[in-house]
A and B are shown apart, each in its own frame.
Chain A
Amino acid sequence: MRFLGAIATALLVVGAVGAAEIPLAERRSGYSFMKPDTKTMQDDDTANPGMLWVLNGETLWNRKTSAADKACADCHGNARASMKGVAARYPAFDKATGRPIDLEQRINSCRTNHQQATPLPFESRELLSLTAFVARQSQGAPIETGADPQLAPFVAKGRELYMQRQGQLNLGCANCHDDNWDKRLAGAAITQGHPTGYPLYRLEWQSLGSLQRRLRACITGIRAQAHDYGAPELVELELYLMSRARGMAMEAPAVRP
């Protein structure tokens, strides 16, 4: 009987909850789901629109700001050396707040504490540019986020949020990105949701955007209440996603459809 079959399936699925994550050999960046011309756009620095933000970020890196009259470069020197691999470790544990902070928040904490400047708003051109410039220095580096044992409870919290069903459509991130990543949602490839390329240029946005912007879009998509930018929940999700992508290569600034 079809109906009893459905119940048996339901029980099997319940039994499988908490199943293993995608093994490293099967982890696929959103890049691998793209059409050849979009891949070329990402690969070619002269065609990648994200490079405009990276170049702007380099200018800001060297510009003195506010009361302290210090540029990022005055403390950190040449970013190609000092920022190499840094983005591949974020979000990281912040001693001052006892919580994980993402790369944008880390940059803003330098602005407040070391430059005596006001924090840059999330998704502002300046913050995206500085983040893209710093993240670019990790291009090709393997993601290492989550190695710090102090982060463990926050990774666990992020995973819980990732599994939780929410919103009017009552879906969890895992329903799409773990269970259906080989399928299509209204024609769009559903990927494994690895945050390897942020901040990235999305053709749909016609702009660079942060990982938090992407997460808010998925949360609104399932008709749940999107958390405010900078909310602990978004940082915990970022942390879980990055630690879930451990070993994958950083691609910022990536391009996505």
Chain B
Amino acid sequence: MLDPILAGVLLVLPGCATAAELRSYAVTGDAIPQSLTGMAGDAARGRALVVERSSTCILCHNGPFPEQKFQGDLAPDLSGSGSRWSEGQLRLRLVDASRLNAETIMPSYYRVDGLTRVGTLWRGKPILSAEQIEDIVAYLASLRE
């Protein structure tokens, strides 16, 4: 499943019923260069989303959020994400990190297939919407060191 990424551009066409709401996107190398919505996200909304518990990010990550008492340490510090990665690279890491590391524990935030026993509340829905992903990408890209 890693070869298509190395091979270059791959068009992902989400299959059948449940995935109908997911927009298609193109992976180039280790990035999704184009915005999922066709528009730039809002970094301020992105920050609010990252620290919100329901987005799950800071269960695992920590970062430049001094006001947040409870942050995780299962994953890299998000500080300086924008210096390390391009927007496109950040986008693919959020959409489907398992394409880059099949064993990663980071959930795929914009995927509904290949999952097992998803609870009824969440079934058939991605963890985050395309708009939310773009907001978070805009925020992470602004984190420079």
Contacts and interface: CB of A to CB of B under 8 A. Distances in A.
A224 B118 contact: yes
Interface in B55-70: 56, 58-60, 69-70
Interface string B73-96: 110000000000000000000000
Contacts, number: 86
A165 B106 CA distance: 12
Given A3-B30, A186-B71, A170 B108 contact: yes
Contacts of A224: 116-119
A187 B122 contact: no
Contact of B101 (A6, A167, A187): A6
B125 to A, nearest CB: 8
A64 interface: no
Contacts of A185: 59-60, 72, 74
A170 B30 CA distance: 21
Interface centre among B29, B116, B120 (most CB of A within 10 A): B116
A9 B73 CA distance: 20
Nearest to B100: A6
Nearest to A171: B105
A169 interface: yes
Contacts of B39: none
Interface residues of A, number: 30
Interface in A174-200: 175, 179-180, 183-188, 190
Contacts of B120: 225
Interface size class of B (residues with CB under 8 A): 20 to 34
Nearest to A6: B101
Interface string A131-164: 0000000000000000000000000000000001
B117 A170 contact: no
Contacts of B103: 9-10, 13-14
Nearest to A226: B119
A167 B53 contact: no
Nearest to A1: B30
B105 A223 contact: no
A164 to B, nearest CB: 7
Interface in A207-234: 220, 223-226
A237 to B, nearest CB: 13
A166 B117 contact: yes
Contact of A175 (B30, B105, B117): B105
Contacts of B30: 3
A14 B72 CA distance: 25
B2 interface: yes
Contacts of B108: 170
A169 B101 CA distance: 15
4 closest Cβ pairs, A-B complex: A187-B70, A13-B103, A168-B122, A186-B59
18 contacts: A3-B100, A6-B101, A7-B101, A9-B101, A14-B103, A166-B118, A167-B115, A167-B122, A168-B115, A169-B56, A184-B74, A185-B59, A185-B74, A186-B71, A223-B118, A223-B121, A224-B117, A225-B120
Interface of B: 2, 29-30, 53, 56, 58-60, 69-74, 98, 100-103, 105, 107-108, 115-123, 125, 127
